Amino acid sequence: MNRIEIPEAGVVVDIPASYAEMTRPQLFYVMQQLEALQCGRITLVECRVRVLYKLAGIKRTICSIVWERLHPAAARLRSEKITLMAEELLGFLFSADADNLLPAFNCLENHMPVLRIGRRRFIGPGDGLMDISVEELIAADAELTLYTATKDPCHIDNMLATLYRRPGPRQPAGRHVEPLDIDHTERAARVFRFVPAWKKYLFLLWYSACVDNLQHGTFTINGREVSFAPLFNNDEPSGKSLGWLGTLFNLAERRTFGDLKETSATGIIDILLLLLNDKYNADNARKNNTAD
């Protein structure tokens, strides 16, 4: 948290220093402003000032508007101070590459655990994507790749249809939703066209942050700190590969979790733990052979 102090007004306010520290209403408001900025409806300065007012709980009143009109010079000086304050306190909103206005989103909590569209209710993944299956991750990643290449919003709808489904029986990965049916994804995605653009923007940022955390974060599992980063080390040379799909086929062939269908429904954390253990065993065997 960052603290704003205005002694002459007797005001002391704590504002978030990252997306992860925002409350749900704050985050939703910020996403609406970022989406408006992305579409060119507001400027970067206006976006920052609006966000600062929201995070600090400052509201414009009729009295303040009248005062600004009666004292334009003083109002201009105050506006300049607020702009500088916004630039200083809200630097966390964007990454170092500010020219492209890429949000430095780091929130792993799913602030949209449920999506309601009309009378329909769709259940989303838990915080950090910890309760999705490897099949869901593969399908969502494929749609994200297509969206990145084409910018066609239908792929975002397909991602939502993959990860947000109607309530149903408990799945092997832990969620109580209907089983995933890849063949009917595009049909199921039609209803997600009605999700507001800023919510889709939040979903994309959150999903990307969760995947990055799966690849580089640290988890406490059975009292031990575990990182899956060694599995995603790009420095190691590799030949042609089918990626996650190839991994799925290999695991199904070993039948560690069962056949292809059962392996596909297995939670992503269980899959990553097995792959990490395999890597540790392979590395140890390689060291022992070298020592001999």
- For residues 194-202, give the mean pLDDT: 95
Q: Which residue has the higher pLDDT, 65 or 113?
A: 113
d(CA 218, CA 229): 9
Which of 45-54, 173-182, 225-234 has the lowest average pLDDT? 225-234
Which of 6-10, 147-151, 218-222, 227-231 has the lowest average pLDDT? 6-10
Does the pLDDT at position 147 exceed 60? yes
pLDDT at 247: 84
pLDDT at 9: 47
- Give 221's pLDDT tier (boundaries 50, 70, 90): confident
- For residues 182-207, give the mean pLDDT: 95
Reported as a single tens digit per residue, the pLDDT across 76-91 is 766 677 777 788 888 8
- Give 71's pLDDT tier (boundaries 50, 70, 90): low
Which of 173-182, 231-240, 244-253 has the lowest average pLDDT? 231-240
pLDDT at 292: 56
Reported as a single tens digit per residue, the pLDDT across 15-68 is 899 999 999 999 999 999 999 998 899 998 899 988 988 988 877 667 666 656
Q: What percent of the chain has pLDDT over 90?
A: 56
Reported as a single tens digit per residue, the pLDDT across 89-99 is 888 999 866 56
- For residues 178-193, give the mean pLDDT: 94
Q: What percent of the chain has pLDDT over 70?
A: 86
- Give 291's pLDDT tier (boundaries 50, 70, 90): low
Which of 89-93, 128-132, 183-187, 287-291 has the lowest average pLDDT? 287-291
pLDDT at 239: 52
∠161-28-200 over CA atoms, to 5°?
Answer: 25
